[in-house]
């Protein structure tokens, strides 16, 4: 049976490909469930709820990075906080509860930069 969230993740990926052309390539990191991944990413790809959270966080990050009002040190702080988030997310491995908590916290806190 096909996972119904895949089109959403695919749409988010297409949006981010456009966004990546306007920001540094390393700035936007989204999960491609068709590629080899680490344990956290495999767990996210296996969970519809986590895929939705991942798409939400990735979209919020892309929106901030493309916002013309977010400049210089703030944009750099957002990039650094995204790298920190990805490290914390990946450290969760296969722990769904940990992944959910880390990703929900990021979805809330990333908006502090606006």
- Tell me which residue of 51, 59, 57 sits closest to 32, measured CA to CA: 51
**Confidence (pLDDT) at 19:** 41
76 close to 32: Cβ distance less than 8 angstroms: no
- DSSP character for 23? S
**Confidence (pLDDT) at 58:** 94
Q: Report the alpha-carbon distance of residue 99 to residue 60 in Å, rounded.
A: 17
Q: Report the alpha-carbon distance of residue 114 to residue 100 in Å, rounded.
A: 23
**Confidence (pLDDT) at 26:** 40
Percent of the chain with pLDDT over 70: 75
| Residue numbers of the chain with a pLDDT score lower than 70 | 1-29
83-93 confidence digits (pLDDT tens): 999 999 999 99
Note if the pTM is more than 0.75.
no
Q: Report the alpha-carbon distance of residue 103 to residue 70 in Å, rounded.
A: 22
Angle ∠(17,19,43) on CA atoms, nearest 5: 60
């Amino acid at each position: 049976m096909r996972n119904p969230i895949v089109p959403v993740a695919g749409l988010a990926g297409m949006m981010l490909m456009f966004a990546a052309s306007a920001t540094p390539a390393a700035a936007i990191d989204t999960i491609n469930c068709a590629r080899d991944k680490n344990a956290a990413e495999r767990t996210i790809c296996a969970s519809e709820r986590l895929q939705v959270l991942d798409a939400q966080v990735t979209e919020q990050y892309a929106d901030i990075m493309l916002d013309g009002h977010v400049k210089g040190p703030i944009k750099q702080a957002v990039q650094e906080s995204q790298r920190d988030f990805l490290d914390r997310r990946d450290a969760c491995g296969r722990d769904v509860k940990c992944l959910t908590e880390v990703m929900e916290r990021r979805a809330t806190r990333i908006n502090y930069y606006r």
